């Protein structure tokens, strides 16, 4: 039976992915900080729970050692643990939150891959999926620190994919747009025309599985979001001016209300 480690496996995209994998016969090791939810889902899908903060490198290494005592190899690592920036910018978000975004969203995937690398090599051909975001290819205005953590996670993903290919490990990035989950409730989109583009975690879970099965380096869950990164790369000045104009309009609207 194949073994998958899913960080952030107690909620949202990670939980939906673990459920999908379990329904296809995978044994899932779920990793997150909150014990109750984690053990509840692990029990439901016949998986295993490992309570751990992915930003804590040594704790993750200890988790990998414990998993190695139970399983000779791991065939799939899904790094989905992540925290939102709640729309905060570089000058208004508390510094501790900027550190947490970096530690969890970016370094969490680096430490997870490094900790599980020996087990992934033992399981080769094996796969790693980093759940990044469209915010990893596109950054304007609000949510800058979140975007920066996702840009770093995507750069890590792309670079390490080249490093690990000769060792039989394929690294993939999945870049969803808005998905309604506990950490990312997408309140600002409710009642707007954009709300119909908000995805379910189950839809992203299917994209993750398809990305592995079809061996795609990067996927978007909703293809139109691919354009966002292309537009920013081609027209950074234009996009920045549009974002500044929208910001000014929003500020003057809220002053006149």
Please report whether residue 34 would count as binding ligand NAP according to CB under 6 A: yes
Rounded CA separation 30/45 (Å): 10
Q: Is the Cβ of residue 196 or residue 255 nearer to ligand NAP in the bound state?
A: 196
Please report whether residue 106 would count as binding ligand NAP according to CB under 6 A: no
Token pair in block for residue 83? 């925290």
Please report whether residue 81 would count as binding ligand NAP according to CB under 6 A: yes
Token pair in block for residue 229? 């990164």
CB of 252 to ligand NAP, least distance (A): 29
Binder to ligand NAP among 85, 123, 145, 178 (CB under 6 A)?
Answer: 178
Best CA proximity match to 88, nearest among 103, 99, 74: 99
Binding window for ligand NAP (CB under 6 A); candidates: 159-167, 177-185, 236-244, 245-253: 177-185
CB of 11 to ligand NAP, least distance (A): 4
Binding window for ligand NAP (CB under 6 A); candidates: 51-59, 119-127, 222-230, 232-240: 51-59
Give the three-state DSSP class for 174. Answer: strand
Best CA proximity match to 3, nearest among 64, 113, 80, 77: 77
Q: Is the Cβ of residue 33 or residue 114 nearer to ligand NAP in the bound state?
A: 33
To the nearest 10 degrees (0 to 180), the angle between helices 236-256 and 226-234 is 110
Active site annotation includes 146: yes
Rounded CA separation 142/128 (Å): 30
CB of 227 to ligand NAP, least distance (A): 16
Give the three-state DSSP class for 29. Answer: strand
Rounded CA separation 121/115 (Å): 11
Q: How far is CA 237 from CA 124, 125, 140, 246, 256, in A?
A: 44, 43, 11, 14, 29
CB of 181 to ligand NAP, least distance (A): 3
Please report whether residue 117 would count as binding ligand NAP according to CB under 6 A: no
CB of 145 to ligand NAP, least distance (A): 12
Please report whether residue 14 would count as binding ligand NAP according to CB under 6 A: yes
- The DSSP element (H or E) to which 67 belongs, if any, is helix 57-70
Please report whether residue 80 would count as binding ligand NAP according to CB under 6 A: yes
Q: Position of tokens 């920045």?
A: 240
Contact positions vs ligand NAP (CB under 6 A): 7-8, 10-14, 32-34, 53-55, 80-83, 104-105, 131, 133, 176, 178-179, 181-184, 201
Which amino acids are annotated catalytic? 146
């Amino acid at each position: 039976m194949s073994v998958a480690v899913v960080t952030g496996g107690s909620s949202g995209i990670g939980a939906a992915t673990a459920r999908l994998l379990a329904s296809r016969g995978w044994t899932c090791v779920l990793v997150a900080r909150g014990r109750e939810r984690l053990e509840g889902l692990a029990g439901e899908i016949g998986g295993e729970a490992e309570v751990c903060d992915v930003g804590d490198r040594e704790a993750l290494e200890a988790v990998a050692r414990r998993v190695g005592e139970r399983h000779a190899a791991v065939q799939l690592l899904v790094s989905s643990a992540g925290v939102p920036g709640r729309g905060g910018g570089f000058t208004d978000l508390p510094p501790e939150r900027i550190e947490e975004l970096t530690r969890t969203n970016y370094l969490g995937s680096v430490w997870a891959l490094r900790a599980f690398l020996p087990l992934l090599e033992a399981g080769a051909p094996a796969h790693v999926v980093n759940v990044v975001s469209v915010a990893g290819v596109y950054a304007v205005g609000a949510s800058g620190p979140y975007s920066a953590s996702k840009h770093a996670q995507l750069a890590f993903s792309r670079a390490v994919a080249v490093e690990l290919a000769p060792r039989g490990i394929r690294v993939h990035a999945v870049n969803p747009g808005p998905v309604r989950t506990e950490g990312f409730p997408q309140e600002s989109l409710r009642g707007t025309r954009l709300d119909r583009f908000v995805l379910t975690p189950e839809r992203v879970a299917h994209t993750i599985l398809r990305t592995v099965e079809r061996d795609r380096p990067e996927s978007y869950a909703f293809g139109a979001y691919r354009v966002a990164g292309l537009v920013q790369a081609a027209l950074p000045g234009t996009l920045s001016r549009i974002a500044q104009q929208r910001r000014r309009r929003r500020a003057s609207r809220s002053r006149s209300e």
